[in-house]
């Protein structure tokens, strides 16, 4: 018996359905790991929105996601260090105290980026205690900058810097939540 055209139509619908849906099933499966990983962190939305733009995040395992988030933190700390260096250049020469504090802060944010870089090596060797310690360190450097401002009562802590401080700390918190889960 010859298969009817209706069967052909049905079969081609089934196949095209599969072909069109396979990639989205694949993406949903990977989105699921991102969502599950981010649920273990303190800032779910920040976590998901930081991981999603990186194309590697859909193929990454949990450790890979932690590494991507560390990269986001390094970029963030480096951007703030550069911002502080540019503020330093535009500060008036007759304000040596402000210049000193800006220079100190630029250094601290640079150290924060270095500490995050160290955690990349730690994660690569599954040294989760060290990774945790280095990310904690990265999260603490902005405090040193804020304290530098506080040492001089004439200097107000700029709100832009407070915003950047929170941003980096939240990224570090997300990484810490991921490492916590990895070290189980």
Ligand X SMILES: *[C@@H]1O[C@H](CO)[C@@H](O)[C@H](O)[C@H]1NC(C)=O
Minimum CB distance to ligand X, residue 6 (Å): 49
Q: What is the total residue count of the chain?
A: 184
Residue 159: CB atoms within 10 Å: 8
How far apart (Å, rounded) are the C-alpha atoms in residues 87 and 50? 27
Q: Name the residue nearer to ligand X (CB basis): 22 or 86.
A: 86
Q: Name the residue nearer to ligand X (CB basis): 74 or 101.
A: 74
How far apart (Å, rounded) are the C-alpha atoms in residues 9 and 138? 60
Interface residues toward ligand X, by CB under 6 A? 46, 54, 56, 67-68, 71, 76, 79, 164, 167, 171
Minimum CB distance to ligand X, residue 160 (Å): 9
Q: Name the residue nearer to ligand X (CB basis): 120 or 144.
A: 120
Strands (E), the chain: none
The residue of the chain with the least Cβ separation from ligand X equals 167
Minimum CB distance to ligand X, residue 168 (Å): 7
Q: Which two tokens stand for residue 1?
A: 């018996």
Q: Name the residue nearer to ligand X (CB basis): 97 or 162.
A: 162
């Amino acid at each position: 018996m010859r298969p009817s055209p209706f069967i052909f139509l049905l079969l081609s619908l089934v196949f095209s359905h599969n072909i069109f849906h396979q990639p989205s099933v694949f993406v949903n499966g990977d989105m699921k790991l991102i969502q599950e990983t981010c649920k273990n962190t303190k800032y779910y939305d920040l976590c998901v929105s930081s991981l999603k733009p990186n194309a590697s995040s859909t193929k990454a395992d949990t450790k890979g996601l932690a590494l991507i988030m560390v990269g986001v933190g390094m970029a963030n700390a480096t951007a703030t260090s550069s911002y502080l260096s540019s503020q330093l250049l535009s500060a008036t020469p007759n304000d040596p105290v402000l210049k000193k504090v800006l220079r100190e802060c630029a250094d601290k944010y640079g150290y924060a980026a270095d500490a995050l870089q160290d955690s990349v090596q730690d994660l690569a060797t599954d040294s989760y205690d060290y990774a945790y310690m280095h990310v904690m360190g990265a999260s603490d450097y902005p405090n040193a900058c804020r304290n530098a401002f506080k040492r001089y009562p004439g200097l107000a802590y700029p709100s832009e810097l407070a915003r950047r401080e929170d941003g980096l700390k939240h990224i570090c918190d997300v990484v810490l939540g991921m490492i916590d889960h990895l070290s189980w």
